[in-house]
Amino acid sequence: MLLLSQLVERPKSVLGLATGNSPLGVYQRLIENYRKGLVDMSRASSFNLDEYCGLAPEHPGSYHYYMEKHLFEQVNFRPENIHIPSGVGECEANARDYELELKKCGGIDLQLLGLGQNGHIGFNEPGSAFIFHTHKVALTESTIEANRPLFENPGDIPRHAITMGVGNILEARKILLIATGESKAQAVSAMIHGDITPRLPASILHTHANVTVLLDRAAASAL
């Protein structure tokens, strides 16, 4: 397991973390190994990829809430070492502040990514140009629809988010992308075999020297 090895070999690692269904197994493995005394996260730092605009940290749909529930409250990350964009207030200003935090950290050692059905990484949605810095983004209808099960009231589904840009992601020393399920198969195929294009943001990972892609059979079915 790459994330576990990274923490064991370099306890002061800076980790880029993701949310969604794909990373859940990774976080569960980290928790299990922490409980066995095989890994210590007290000296590590984390930077999450993104957060929804307009959601307070305690909102069940926020990525703050997700990370606390699925990882942080069950391991020994220090609160001062955890960084997640703030979705409260002016998202443009929060994005600029987060960019400055990223620059101060000395670089992400290992970035964990999921893959959207439309090929997005973080919330870098398909478009006419790559955006390299942390920014506020309008979510596509396909992403909004994919998020619908997470919100009881359809009117509560966020339409905007803060996300690391593709440049922030590419600055990581190592990248681990995980994709699961048949719904990701076409995006996986296009990412691996297609051209580098902002219409499929994950395709830019071809320009990075150290990327590992982990797929289940369903996600790999179009290869």
Q: Which residues are catalytic?
A: 50, 118, 120, 125
Report the candidate in 43, 60, 61 with the shortest Cα–Cα distance to residue 52: 61
What are the tokens at 164? 């690391």
Helix (H, G, I), strand (E, B) or coil at 23: coil
Output helix, strand, coil percentages for the chain, rounded to the nearest 5: 40, 20, 45
| Eight-class DSSP state of 200 | B
On the CB side of 149, CA atoms within 13 Å amount to 3
- 160 neighbors 136 (Cβ within 8 angstroms): yes
